[in-house]
Chains A and B, each alone.
Chain A
Amino acid sequence: MTDAKRNKPVLLTMRDIRIDGRSDEQWSPIIKGVDLTLNKGEVLGLIGESGAGKSTLGLAAMGFTRDGCRISGGTIDFDGIDLMKADEATKRALRGKRIAYVAQSAAASFNPAHKLIDQYSEAPVQHGVMSRSEAEHDAVELYRRMQLPNPDEIGFRYPHQVSGGQLQRAMTAMAMACRPDLIIFDEPTTALDVTTQIEVLSAIRDIVAQFDTAAIYITHDLAVVAQMADKIKVLLRGDEVEEADTRTMLSSPKEDYTKTLWAVRSHARPTQPPVEKGTVPVVSVKAVTAGYGSVDILKNINFDIHKRRTVAVVGESGSGKSTAARVITGLLPPRQGQVLFDGVPLPPNYRQRNREQLRQAQMIYQMADTALNPKLRLRELIGRPAQMYLGLHGKALTERTRDLLHLIELEPDKFIDRLPSELSGGQKQRVGIARALAAEPKFIICDEVTSALDQLVAEGILKLLDRLQSEFDLAYMFITHDLATVRAIADEVVVMQQGRVVEQGPKDEMFEPPHDPYTELLLSSVPEMDPDWLTKLLEERAAKAG
């Protein structure tokens, strides 16, 4: 934070804010007495894991709570206006005009029935800031500043006709329409791919600086907040952990929780010796072309996965990495090519595979919530594969289930008769792992297994997978869009873009230049903890382009 900003007048003061949420017919606290002060033109990063109450606190800065929530205590003072005492009309006059909001999903937050420019003009016209034609002119100007393609024309499209990254920028422009004093950004880039994220981040940062707008930037991503914020506040389950200016916070966090957050990305798998020449890979994908209808999603894909090795398949949404998994499991028979298991071709359709073939290849899913039958207890969820494939019954089956629970570090006596709904997110994912292990497979596909989890929990899952791999000689195919996860777990990397493998090789080579241009773009787009990272990156790219 610069001293200039520190000395600016105070814009927003929240004192001892308490917010309750209604669940099961009773109120329970979501925010438990948080203070917050924001100066004019200052950007505060609000960071925490899911359930920390970041969005709730951000919305409270507008005097707003979602249905089923209420502010039960504290004071909110916005530029001399007491938002706790203000009536609805006063608050409405502020919202959109002096305090604006940018939502996580622009695609869902734009009204599908109206053109972008109509939605842009609504706040300025309704709040009496400018006329309709002025607003339209202004919109084009801001679209240009947000580096949107065809700024003159894009506003006349409907939301579903514009891509996600562009919509997110159009929404930031819309928030700027009345030149507010404060904007709440609620995870504006979380739903975007890394390469798109860069564009949105830089556009947001520039425009906030240009208009000297204060902002509360909510995110769970430390590296992102490091680029955007002057100061950072860390929340944990509705309580403030600590607050400091960005550089201080990154270099010397005070609290243990913050330190663990910072330390998360330390896990890295040691380099494995190269696979001996002539070894038959466990799984071999040979010249596979596959797709739905007449569209090819995968175009001539080749890669091998060896025993005790992890191959990370990396790519952005739509690159075809999940489709590759569907081909291997037999859910999507390929149009051309085949999948070999221990050198023997697998039948393309899973229905034609025998039990042994099904047993050897298991899968762990991204969303443990949808991957575990909510009505079955862990005893059956984990025990069923052992019963089916290994013919275990009665006592032997219970014993095996308990062993598996031990393996995933869950106390058997406590957990064996629980339902998935009685588990935390990380525990559910562990059950997913146990279910895969129960079949005693040689090969496991891990489909984005950590991306729905908080960083600390994800770290635990990666360590567990690593340990199990050496214990049971497993081969992993690790599908992910997150390069930090790749660093942590992979031996080899396959980079995919639009259904093709653009680069593949050992991890160490992949993270060293020279790269394929797309890999380069992907690698360089991953935010780093350095607060100057975005500035440097943009300068480098500009220099290259120039």
Chain B
Amino acid sequence: MSVVWTMIAKRLGLGLLTLFVISIIIFGATELLPGDLATSILGQSATPETVAAIRKELGLDLPAHTRYLNWLVAALQGDFGTSLANKRPIADLIGTRLGNTLFLALYAAAIAVPLSLMLGILAALYRNTVFDRAANALALTSISFPEFFVAYILIFVLAQSGLFPSIARMDASTSFGEALYRTFLPALTLTLVVTAHMMRMTRAAIINLLASPYIEMARLKGMNPMRVILKHALPNALAPIITVVALNLAYLITGVVVVEVVFVYPGLGQLMVDSVAKRDIPVVQAVALIFAAAYVLLNLTADVLSTLSNPRLIHRK
């Protein structure tokens, strides 16, 4: 067992290191700004005095590594500084939006994960049948659709008739049930896009597994197809399936940005896009850091879980 724990500890350490390097990249990227942050805020016409003033205000006169450390230490305590655009603390801007984004992602995941695993396993079981071919072509088609295309089709079909709202407004007074209803279309958009990916990957992982000699052995022992899948394929499919799920949840993180914009949903993605347009760099940095951290954590969890599901590693010689 101890070998497994060492592996997991190493993986965790590596994950932390990755996060640390990413934070350097995100911070350091602004150092590559053509010119300097102060001039890019004020524009080319700014007088030297105002530039000097804003440099002082932003701490730009300090050396880069000091500024990085200050930024990181503050960020770890939840303080991301103030927005350049509206001078409000970034932490306030992020607060409820982070919750909204997580809500939407989890909502989509709750539908997509069980659905796609089931479809993937079915497609693998009935591979090369009409069902499999149709599911495959459909999945391929929906993978190829840009998220906004799916979103607008859904709006066109489902919101036109007034079944669901095309704008997902959220505020503090929105009840849980109401929130589920209002965010149904964005969640459905994400589900459609992610399900296709996840289904195809699950199918591939299972088919890969079904070609193993030990599956043939189980069939030659007279076991029924259900038992072959549940008892013989599934325990070995855990690691690939975990990887597939994690990969797609990570994909959700990206997908959520576009979907939030289409449905005017008050989430992190929207905040990030707005801030990019305004070149509000501190906000972009903060949001990018949060997204990247979520992404790294997801992959880390997947790695640890698939290590734990591998009998060869758990039961050493």
Hey, which bits of chain A sit against chain B, CB under 8 A?
59, 62, 64, 66-67, 91-97, 100-101, 103, 105, 108-114, 122-123, 126-127, 157-158, 160-161
Contact = CB atoms under 8 A, between A and B. Distances in A.
Interface in B49-76: none
Contacts of A110: 214, 217
A112 B235 CA distance: 9
B218 interface: yes
B312 interface: yes
Chain B interface residue bracket vs A: 20 to 34
B220 A108 contact: no
A113 B213 contact: no
B222 A108 contact: no
Interface string B227-248: 1000110011000000000000
Nearest to A126: B223
Contacts of B236: 111-113
A109 B217 CA distance: 6
B45 interface: no
Interface of B: 211-214, 216-224, 227, 231-232, 235-236, 311-312, 315-317
A66 B249 CA distance: 36
Contact of A111 (B218, B220, B317): B218
Shortest beta-carbon contacts, A-B, top 6: A95-B222, A96-B221, A113-B235, A96-B222, A108-B213, A101-B220
Nearest to B128: A67
Contacts of A127: 222
Contact of B317 (A59, A96, A113, A160): A160
Of the listed residues A64, A94, A100, A113, the one surrounded by the most CB atoms of chain B closer than 10 A to its CB is A113
Nearest to A123: B221
Given A108-B212, A112-B312, A64 B218 contact: no
Contacts of B315: 157-158, 160-161
Given A158-B311, A161-B315, A161-B317, A109 B216 contact: yes
A104 B317 CA distance: 23
Given A103-B213, A108-B214, A126 B317 contact: no
Nearest to B315: A158
A94 B223 CA distance: 10
A134 to B, nearest CB: 17
A122 B219 contact: no
Contacts of B212: 108
Given A111-B232, A112-B312, A113-B311, A92 B224 contact: yes
A100 to B, nearest CB: 8
A127 to B, nearest CB: 6
Given A109-B213, A109-B216, A112-B312, A126 B227 contact: yes
Contact of B220 (A96, A112, A157, A161): A96
A161 B316 CA distance: 7
Given A103-B213, A109-B213, A112-B311, A122 B221 contact: yes
Contacts of B219: 64, 95
B10 to A, nearest CB: 18
Contacts of A157: 315
A176 B312 CA distance: 26
A278 to B, nearest CB: 51
A158 B310 CA distance: 12
A92 B223 contact: yes
A112 B238 CA distance: 13
B227 to A, nearest CB: 7
B213 A93 contact: no
A97 B222 contact: yes
A488 B229 CA distance: 50
Contacts of B218: 111, 122
Contacts of B232: 111, 113
Contacts of B217: 101, 103, 109-111
Given A92-B222, A101-B221, 19 more contacts: A94-B222, A96-B220, A103-B213, A103-B216, A105-B213, A109-B213, A109-B214, A109-B216, A109-B217, A111-B217, A112-B214, A113-B235, A113-B311, A122-B218, A122-B231, A123-B221, A126-B221, A127-B222, A160-B311
A485 B224 CA distance: 46
A292 B223 CA distance: 44
A66 B211 CA distance: 10
Given A158-B311, A160-B312, A161-B315, A111 B223 contact: no
Contacts of A108: 212-214
Of the listed residues B211, B216, B217, B227, the one surrounded by the most CB atoms of chain A closer than 10 A to its CB is B217
Contacts of B220: 59, 62, 64, 95-96, 100-101
A62 B222 CA distance: 10
A288 to B, nearest CB: 30
Contacts of A97: 222
B299 to A, nearest CB: 24
